């Protein structure tokens, strides 16, 4: 699985290698979804949000006191998405069920059950969940019996999802049971962004992440409405539309296993936690505009370190990287905090690591100065972070629980 160390730890850590994958040696919709023009805007629109004050200084980060309040228990939760009014949190379980937490209470019955299609093998299973901005559809990514990453859509019908409306949007073949990615996010442009890992057991021997002719190792940007015989529409403003030999679905490339990416609610910057291989875990942060066509370096680079060949021209360097020391092995990407319950954390990026389970914060000051803080809470089985519409953060443990990050007394 993820590391030799992980092979000899508790079964739970073996299971959460689905998120890691790093550290290894080796039909029609019932209601149309209208996020904007069918082909997307000509360019990602500029933000009109007023950017808050400077991100927290080191002294402000040092004042942050947090705790984790459990809000639900369930078998192996792995991903979460919130409705526009935060009244419902949809939580995906690794086995293929999607559960609803409504106004703080977990529904006993699943909203959607895909266990007959989801295959939990290696790092497979349900990988991502997203709710359309108009609240009419639910999107789920998972691995199937061929180890492919499948993205499906289902329409909401009253209080639940209508299984009869299930529709395939996209399938990405993968060569192994490893490094699938699978995160789903509706971006600030109203379009669906999909993270796909390189799919290799290690080292990306097919050089998929650098190949513009393959979808593996990429960040994809889609309008999920079907067109042209496909289950989705490619936005005309995607950077590789019309380029010979390149897949037009690609927005950015050179990723190994983007285990969670997100957009800052205030600045709309893109943040990615990309799982490394032998030595380095990396966190990437780039403006939405600069992310268009960006190459994040894998497999030429592992973080800033050469891995196979020289650095690609114009490769985006990580804003932060760390080694496999102190029990860490695989980054879990998080979110820039934009809630109100933790004012001293406002503007800091909150993330973690699969193996040590500790929740950390990273803040970028003027001139690129980085401030770091271990927030003093540890989550065995840490597999994901999630954000509600109010900007408050949740922490998900594959061990069986969802927690809210809140202020300590």
Beta strand pairing status for 301-302 and 66-73? unpaired
pLDDT tens digits for range 201-244? 999 999 999 999 999 999 999 999 999 999 999 999 999 999 99
For residue 298, tell me if it sits in a domain.
Answer: yes
What residues contact 191, with CB distance under 8 A and at least 6 apart? 35, 36, 40, 221, 222, 223, 235
> What Rg value do the Cα atoms of the chain yield, rounded?
19
For residue 55, tell me if it sits in a domain.
Answer: no
The answer, yes or no, to whether residue 49 has pLDDT greater than 90, is no
Q: Residue 409: pLDDT band by 50, 70, 90 thresholds?
A: confident
Element (H, E) at 154: strand 149-157
Mean pLDDT on 323-332: 96
The answer, yes or no, to whether residue 36 has pLDDT greater than 90, is no
Mean pLDDT on 122-150: 97
Element (H, E) at 247: none
Domain range for 184 is 4-36+74-332+383-407
The per-residue pLDDT for 394 is: 98
pLDDT tens digits for range 244-275? 999 999 999 999 999 999 999 999 999 999 99
The answer, yes or no, to whether residue 23 has pLDDT greater than 80, is no
The per-residue pLDDT for 51 is: 52
CATH of the domain at 173: 2.120.10.30
The per-residue pLDDT for 103 is: 86
- Count of all residues that appear for the chain in the document: 409
- 42 with 370: CB under 8 angstroms? no
Mean pLDDT on 133-152: 97
Question: Which of 7-11, 307-311, 353-357 has the lowest average pLDDT?
Answer: 7-11
- 277 with 22: CB under 8 angstroms? yes
Domain count, the chain: 1
| Cα distance between residue 231 and residue 27, in whole Å | 9
For residue 369, tell me if it sits in a domain.
Answer: no
The answer, yes or no, to whether residue 288 has pLDDT greater than 70, is yes
The answer, yes or no, to whether residue 159 has pLDDT greater than 80, is no
Residue 260, SS3 per DSSP: strand
For residue 65, tell me if it sits in a domain.
Answer: no
Question: Which of 10-24, 29-43, 208-222, 229-243 has the lowest average pLDDT?
Answer: 29-43
The answer, yes or no, to whether residue 27 has pLDDT greater than 90, is no
pTM of the model: 0.90
Q: Residue 46: pLDDT band by 50, 70, 90 thresholds?
A: very low
For residue 325, tell me if it sits in a domain.
Answer: yes
In whole numbers, what is the pLDDT of the chain averaged over residues?
Answer: 89
The per-residue pLDDT for 45 is: 42
For residue 396, tell me if it sits in a domain.
Answer: yes
- Please report, rounded to a whole number, the percentage of residues in the chain having pLDDT higher than 90: 84
The per-residue pLDDT for 53 is: 64
Distance (Å) of CA 6 to CA 148, 323, 327, 330:
24, 16, 10, 11
For residue 374, tell me if it sits in a domain.
Answer: no
The answer, yes or no, to whether residue 12 has pLDDT greater than 80, is no
The answer, yes or no, to whether residue 180 has pLDDT greater than 50, is yes
* Residue 59 backbone phi and psi in degrees, to 5: -65, -35
- Please report, rounded to a whole number, the percentage of residues in the chain having pLDDT higher than 70: 87
For residue 60, tell me if it sits in a domain.
Answer: no
pLDDT tens digits for range 357-380? 999 999 998 888 999 999 999 999
Within 13 Å of residue 359, how many CA atoms lie on the same side as its CB?
33
Mean pLDDT on 316-340: 97
| Cα distance between residue 227 and residue 224, in whole Å | 9
């Amino acid at each position: 699985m993820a590391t030799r160390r992980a092979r000899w730890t508790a079964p739970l850590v073996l299971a959460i290698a689905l998120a890691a994958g790093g550290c290894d040696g080796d039909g029609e919709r019932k209601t149309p979804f209208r996020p904007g023009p069918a082909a997307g805007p000509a360019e990602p629109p500029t933000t009109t949000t007023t950017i808050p004050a400077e991100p927290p200084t080191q002294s402000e980060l040092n004042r942050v006191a947090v705790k984790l309040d459990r809000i639900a228990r369930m078998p192996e939760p792995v991903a979460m998405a919130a409705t526009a009014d935060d009244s419902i949190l949809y939580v995906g379980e690794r086995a293929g069920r999607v559960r609803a937490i409504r106004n703080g209470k977990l529904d006993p019955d699943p909203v959607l059950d895909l266990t007959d299609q989801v295959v939990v093998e290696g790092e497979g299973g349900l990988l991502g969940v997203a709710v359309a901005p108009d609240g009419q559809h639910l999107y789920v990514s998972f691995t199937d019996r061929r180890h492919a990453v499948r993205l499906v859509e289902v329409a909401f019908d009253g209080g639940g999802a209508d299984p009869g409306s299930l529709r395939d949007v996209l399938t990405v073949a993968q060569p192994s049971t490893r490094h699938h990615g699978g995160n789903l996010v509706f971006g600030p442009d109203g379009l669906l962004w999909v993270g796909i890992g390189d799919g290799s057991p290690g080292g990306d021997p097919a050089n998929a992440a650098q190949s513009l002719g393959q979808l593996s190792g990429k960040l994809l940007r889609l309008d999920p409405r079907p067109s042209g015989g496909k289950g989705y529409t490619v936005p005309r403003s995607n950077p590789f539309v019309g380029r010979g030999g390149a897949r037009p679905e690609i927005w950015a490339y050179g990723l190994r296993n983007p285990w969670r990416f997100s957009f800052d609610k205030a600045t709309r910057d893109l943040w990615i936690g990309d799982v490394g291989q032998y030595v380095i875990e990396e966190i990437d942060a780039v403006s939405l505009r600069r992310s268009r066509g960006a190459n994040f370096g894998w497999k030429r680079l592992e973080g800033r370190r050469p891995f196979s060949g020289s650095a690609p021209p114009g490769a985006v360097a990580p804003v932060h990287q760390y080694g496999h020391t102190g029990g860490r092995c695989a980054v879990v990407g998080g979110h820039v905090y934009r809630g109100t319950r933790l004012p001293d954390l406002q503007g800091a990026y909150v993330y973690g690591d699969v193996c040590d389970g500790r929740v950390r914060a990273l803040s970028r000051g003027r001139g690129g100065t980085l401030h770091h803080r271990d927030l003093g809470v540890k989550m065995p089985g840490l597999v994901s972070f999630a954000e509600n519409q109010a900007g408050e953060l949740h922490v998900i443990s594959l061990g069986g629980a969802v927690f809210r990050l809140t202020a300590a007394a």
